[in-house]
Amino acid sequence: MLANMNIKDFLDKTASSDPVPGGGSVAALSAAVAGALTEMVAGLTIGKKKYVEVEEEMKEVQKAALEFRNKFVDDIDRDSDAFNEVMAAFKLPKETDEEKEKRKEAIQEGTKKASLVPLDVAKDAFKIMEIIEKVVVKGNQNAVTDGAVAAMMARTAVLSALYNVKINLGSIKDEAFVAKLTKEVQELESKVGEVEKNILSKVVL
């Protein structure tokens, strides 16, 4: 599993000519880093007298960030697995008309899945920005820049994942499916930059 690799091995594999892990898995990793940093800032706030009024809120933030992080770690492999399914579909036999049709359907279904996984990553990376804002505004101000980095990593995860959605949509014949996901992609793309900008504007140094 990619998620169980140490950092150096993961980067070595990413740098290799093997197509996985690719941009989708890296997007999930970026989101996981955002979650980890959010947990850290919340953890550095909990137990501090200066922040006693927000302690319970930070405990909730820490719990939510952990749940996000665990999901994003799973998404690292989910994305690569989805890509591998598409590649496996392309290798299916295509001697007879029946085989060709089965292969075509498998490619289409695999490509849909390969679009939905990064879309999930993008949606969740966008959602986590709400709690990142909380640690930036209310969390331990000695770690406010860590919250800022979390926001930037989350934005990168959103946009990176959406690029993976878009490249897959170009190969999908189901027009209704493509239209639905295109709309969702455009909505996220139009919002995420402003959300990040709003969070970073609240970083006081």
For the residues 97-108, what does the mean pLDDT come to? Answer: 96
Residue 107 pLDDT greater than 90, yes or no: yes
Contact 3, 76 (CB under 8 A): yes
Q: Please report the pLDDT score of residue 197 as a whole number.
A: 98
Residue 117 pLDDT greater than 90, yes or no: yes
- The reported pTM is 0.95
3-state secondary structure of 173: coil
Q: Please report the pLDDT score of residue 168 as a whole number.
A: 96
Q: Please report the pLDDT score of residue 3 as a whole number.
A: 87
Residue 8 pLDDT greater than 90, yes or no: yes
DSSP assignment of 20-72 equals -S-HHHHHHHHHHHHHHHHHHHHHHHTT-GGGGGGHHHHHHHHHHHHHHHHHH
For the residues 66-93, what does the mean pLDDT come to? Answer: 96
3-state secondary structure of 95: coil
CA-atom Rg of the chain in angstroms: 19
Flag the least confident range among 1-5, 54-58, 62-66.
Answer: 1-5
For the residues 28-40, what does the mean pLDDT come to? Answer: 98
Percentage of the chain exceeding pLDDT 70: 100
- Write b or e for each residue in 167-201: b if 16 or more Cβ atoms lie within 10 A of its Cβ, otherwise e: ebbeebeeeebbeebeeebeebeeebeebbeebee
Q: Which CATH class is domain 21-200?
A: mainly alpha
Q: Please report the pLDDT score of residue 102 as a whole number.
A: 97
For the stretch 13-32, pLDDT in tens is: 999 999 899 999 999 999 99
For the residues 128-156, what does the mean pLDDT come to? Answer: 98
Q: Please report the pLDDT score of residue 6 as a whole number.
A: 94
Amino acid at 32: A
Q: Please report the pLDDT score of residue 42 as a whole number.
A: 98
- The whole-angstrom separation of Cα 105 and Cα 66 is 37
Residue 2 pLDDT grade (very low, low, confident, very high; cuts 50, 70, 90): confident
For the residues 39-66, what does the mean pLDDT come to? Answer: 98
Domain ranges across the chain: 21-200
Residue 1 pLDDT greater than 90, yes or no: no
